[in-house]
Each structure stands twice: as C-alpha cells, then as structure tokens.
C-alpha cells in the first residue's frame, strides 16, 4: 500500500506524544484509540479499481462508527483518577 510507512510513522508519533504527555503531568488523561475496520466512505474514493474492490471486500466485516464513539465515551466517563491509556476496538471477526 502506498504511503503505508507515513501512516505507521504518524501513528507511532501520536503514541509517543501521548505517552510523553502522561509522564509530564499527573493531571493529563490521554487515551490512544486504535479502531479496527470501521464503516466509512473510504472505498468510494479509491480510484484504482483493484484497490477499491479489495477495500470493499475488507470492509464487509466493518463495525459501525457508533461502536468507536461508545468506546471513547467509556474512556471519557471514567473518574478523574482513572486513565484508560489504550483503547482497541475491532470487529469480532477480525484476525489479530
């Protein structure tokens, strides 16, 4: 996949910044959210027919965006002394 290295680097940078923020202050709560495949319009924007078909096929097991929203809401609603550091939400059918 084109630009995969940039995507991975950006994701790692966000994690590093989040962890640094946690260590700099005991008043900062920070949750890194790692969603699995989620329903979106992404496949409709892919111009390469082969890549588009692969994305459509891959997204057949996608979960709805609302599931990610509820998971984030769970983290946000925790008491002030609780920090949910990482949140992974993926379709049950996804292979790890």
pLDDT along the chain (96 residues), means of 10: 78 93 90 91 86 86 95 96 94 76
Cα separation values, 56 from 4, 93, 96, Å:
18, 16, 20
pLDDT of residue 54: 87
> In the chain, count of helices (H) and strands (E)?
3, 2
Among the options 7, 34, 58, 74, which is catalytic? 7
pLDDT of residue 95: 66
pLDDT single digits (tens) 62-87: 999 999 999 999 999 999 999 999 99
Fold classification of 4-89 is Rossmann fold (3.40.50)
- Residue carrying the six token digits 């409709």: 44
Q: What is the CA radius of gyration of the chain?
A: 16
The question of whether 34 is a catalytic residue gets the answer: no
């Amino acid at each position: 996949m084109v630009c995969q290295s940039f995507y991975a680097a950006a994701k790692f940078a966000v994690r590093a910044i989040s962890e640094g923020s946690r260590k700099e202050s005991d008043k900062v709560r920070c949750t890194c959210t790692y969603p699995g495949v989620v329903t979106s319009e992404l496949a409709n924007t892919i111009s390469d027919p082969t890549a588009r078909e692969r994305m459509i096929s891959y997204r057949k097991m996608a979960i709805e965006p609302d599931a990610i929203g509820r998971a984030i809401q769970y983290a946000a609603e925790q008491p002030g002394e609780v920090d949910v550091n990482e949140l992974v939400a993926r379709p049950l059918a996804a292979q790890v």
